[in-house]
């Protein structure tokens, strides 16, 4: 299961989640094909909100605060056989990790091993995060191989 932000403008306009450069990067990080990623028997995609809210001063506007508490429990009840949950970005991590969060997103992602085996927190794969990725080379060298191994294991048991 992938829990991420609300869809971006391009993904919403195409009516296909993660159908943008962020999705391309995410699939690369996961080590999955487009076919695997969009196969609902293999991967569940759950956004923190169902629609794009527009641009803000620092990127897309946030998801509505009331959305996840209202809809996520209902949706998750229909998905009882989750093997791995990938939390993408601060909105998903803040909601699902709550008291297990580190002081900031970087520290939460860096502490990914503390959330294993069933959760992996990731930074958002947006091209706008290239500076973060450059400043944190451990992400590609340490987190991505473990992420791909856990995804393969979860898909292998699907």
What would the pLDDT profile of 61-79 be if each residue is shown by its tens digit? 789 899 999 999 999 999 9
Rounded Cα–Cα distance for residues 124 and 72 (Å): 20
Report helix, strand and coil shares of the chain as percent, to nearest 5. 50, 10, 35
Q: What percent of the chain has pLDDT over 90?
A: 78
Task: Give the integer Cα–Cα distance in Å for 123 and 93.
Answer: 10
Is residue 54 pLDDT above 80, yes or no? no
Average pLDDT in the chain: 93
pLDDT at position 155 over 70: yes
Q: What is the pLDDT of residue 158?
A: 62
Give residue 30's pLDDT. Answer: 98
CB 5 within 8 A of CB 53: no
pTM for the model stands at 0.94
- Condensed to tens digits (0 to 9), the pLDDT of residues 12-42 reads 788 889 999 999 999 999 999 999 999 999 9
Q: For residues 84 and 151, is the Cβ–Cβ distance under 8 A?
A: yes
pLDDT, mean of residues 131-158 = 95
């Amino acid at each position: 299961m992938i829990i991420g932000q609300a869809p971006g403008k391009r993904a919403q306009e195409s009516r296909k989640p993660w159908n943008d450069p962020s999705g391309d990067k995410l699939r690369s990080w996961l080590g999955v094909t487009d076919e695997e990623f969009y196969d609902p028997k293999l991967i569940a995609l759950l956004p923190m909100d169902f629609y794009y809210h527009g641009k803000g001063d620092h990127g897309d506007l946030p998801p509505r605060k009331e959305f996840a508490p209202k809809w996520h429990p209902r949706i998750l009840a229909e998905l009882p056989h989750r093997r791995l949950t990938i939390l993408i970005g601060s909105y998903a991590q803040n909601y699902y990790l709550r008291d297990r969060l580190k002081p900031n997103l970087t520290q939460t992602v860096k502490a990914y091993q503390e959330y294993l085996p069933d959760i992996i927190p990731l930074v958002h794969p947006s091209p706008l995060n290239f500076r973060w990725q450059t400043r944190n080379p451990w992400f590609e060298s340490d987190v991505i191989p473990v992420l791909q191994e856990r995804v393969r294991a979860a898909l292998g048991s699907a």
